[in-house]
Amino acid sequence: MNTLCFIVIWIVLIPMGSQEVSMSPNQKNTAEGLSRSAWQHWRGGRIEEARTAAVAALDQDPSDPKARHLQILTSFVLGEFENCVKQYDRLDADYERCDQLTPVMIDAYVHLNRLGAAAELARKRKQPENIYRWLEQRRQMPLRVGLEGTTIIPFTDSDLPVDLMPAVSMEINGQTLTCHIDTGGAYIAMSPKMAKALGIEVKPLGPGLANMTRINVLRGIARKVEMGDAVMHHVPVGVLSFPEDNPAPPFMENLVVMGTNILERFFTTWDNIEHRLILSPRGDEKAIKEHLELLPRDQVSIDFYYLGDHHLGARGSVDDQQDTLFHVDTGLVTMDAEGRQPALAAAQRFLKKWEIPHTGGPFADRSILVCLGQLQDAGHIVYVAPLESLVWQELPTSAMLTHGFTKNFIWTMDFENRKWLFSRGR
């Protein structure tokens, strides 16, 4: 089976190199020392420690732009988007790294549904014209979501086995189709052929990545999308255009994928035990209470992080390698010769670091234990990724946690509280 990895990157971010700086105990307690320490924690994937050091640095020197920069980044990954705006407004416009924060702040405004502010910032900071025009179009046609109570949408059959990449029935612009679910995707992704068939007008947006291939992303807006009892208007659509010398696999021509930006509009449960998607309105206490009554009571709560427009992160471990930061992306669809779906995708350098043998081929040579918070699941295989893991604003992740792990659970995304609720079933 071909390997698919839907990672739609709307704005390509190029990580900057970093270098650890040693400091004496006295230096570490100065504002400058705390700021340096904060960035070392950040580049090491230690988000909470970075936040603490950045706040301490600003307490000593409120004019420190590098500490303010990092407080914006840590606020973003912790879902504190209003604080991102507050801190950004305090930042000197002449700060030498201000341009690096522009895509971060655009994403923060989008998460806050402040499309006008996002478009204005793109114009002010001289972002590419197509980015500005896309945000302005979305401001004029804002995404609207309607749902009363809780809706249950059963998984449906498709060309891909439900165990590899679940799908649900969806109606786009009046046409019923099958849509796969992928936390590595943005809103809705499809091929140029499908966009044309659904009457979605598209324009170029920028470079992206899909199926481990660098592609061009076009964008458009679906007038109306229905899924169960949920009705959405003006839904952004990413159209994946593969290069002529490396075309998409034929079956991708008809593939439609729904990503995190749709899921986050709801209190969302991905039930891999009963094979269903459960949606309730965010912030609706009555609906959420009824929603939770449909689920097992023995739930494990895990914090997750925001890594940009739609990517998510979470902490776990691989064998005895504690405190590993995962990029959560359920869109990897592949199996080994025994029909096992990998729980992780990681570059060879991480396999070496974790002492996981690899003598060639697409998979590592032994099974591993994968933990996510308190959850433990043994016997998983690792896909050896040809590309490095996601790096967001110099924050590195070590591996991609995939559906090969999450498919063994019922899991709920509480975007209001940045919580991931897991259960093994009734």
Are both 155 and 267 inside the same structural domain?
yes
Stretch 213-238: mean pLDDT: 94
> Hey, CA dihedral for 134, 136, 140, 142, is it positive or negative?
positive
Measure the CA–CA gap between 194 and 239, rounded to whole angstroms: 9
Q: Which residue has the higher pLDDT, 14 or 416?
A: 416
Measure the CA–CA gap between 192 and 106, rounded to whole angstroms: 26
Whether 166 is in a domain gets the answer yes
**What pLDDT does 205 receive?**
83
> What string of DSSP letters covers 73-136?
HHHHHTT-HHHHHHHHHTS-TT-TTHHHHHHHHHHHHHHTT-HHHHHHHHHHTT--HHHHHHHH
Are both 169 and 67 inside the same structural domain?
no
Are both 77 and 40 inside the same structural domain?
yes
Q: Total domain count for the chain? A: 3
Q: Tokens 């940045």 appear where?
A: 418
For residue 155, the 8-state DSSP code is B
- With beta carbons less than 8 A apart as the criterion, state whether 37 and 51 touch: no
Q: How far apart are the first and last CA of the chain?
A: 32
Are both 126 and 224 inside the same structural domain?
no
Query: 237-262, pLDDT tens digit by residue?
Result: 999 888 877 777 777 788 899 999 99
Are both 64 and 108 inside the same structural domain?
yes
Query: 41-95, pLDDT tens digit by residue?
Result: 999 999 999 999 999 999 999 999 999 999 999 999 999 999 999 999 999 989 9
**What percent of the chain is modeled with pLDDT above 90?**
75
**What pLDDT does 61 receive?**
95
**What pLDDT does 20 receive?**
39
> Hey, CA dihedral for 168, 154, 5, 396, is it positive or negative?
positive
Domain containing residue 49: CATH number: 1.25.40.10
Domain containing residue 236: CATH number: 2.40.70.10
Query: 135-194, pLDDT tens digit by residue?
Result: 999 999 999 999 999 999 999 988 877 788 999 999 999 999 999 999 988 999 999 999
- With beta carbons less than 8 A apart as the criterion, state whether 365 and 358 touch: yes
Are both 335 and 347 inside the same structural domain?
yes
Are both 183 and 224 inside the same structural domain?
yes
158 contacts: CB under 8 Å, gap ≥ 6: 167, 178, 180
Residue 290 CA, distance from chain mean position: 27
Are both 262 and 156 inside the same structural domain?
yes
> Hey, CA dihedral for 251, 253, 254, 259, is it positive or negative?
positive
Are both 92 and 107 inside the same structural domain?
yes
Provide the residue range defining the domain that includes 172: 144-293
Of the residues 111, 140, 169, the one at which a domain ends: 140
Among residues 381, 380, 379, 378, the alpha carbon closest in space to that of 361 is found at 381
Are both 77 and 117 inside the same structural domain?
yes
Whether 237 is in a domain gets the answer yes
Whether 379 is in a domain gets the answer yes
Are both 286 and 161 inside the same structural domain?
yes
Q: Is the pLDDT of residue 16 over 90?
A: no
- With beta carbons less than 8 A apart as the criterion, state whether 342 and 380 touch: yes
Are both 186 and 287 inside the same structural domain?
yes
**What pLDDT does 11 receive?**
28
Of the residues 110, 140, 170, the one at which a domain ends: 140
Measure the CA–CA gap between 252 and 239, rounded to whole angstroms: 12
Whether 65 is in a domain gets the answer yes
Whether 16 is in a domain gets the answer no
Give the burial class of 190: count Cβ atoms within 10 A of its Cβ; 0-12 exposed, 13-18 middle, 19 or more buried.
buried
pTM of structure: 0.89
Whether 21 is in a domain gets the answer no
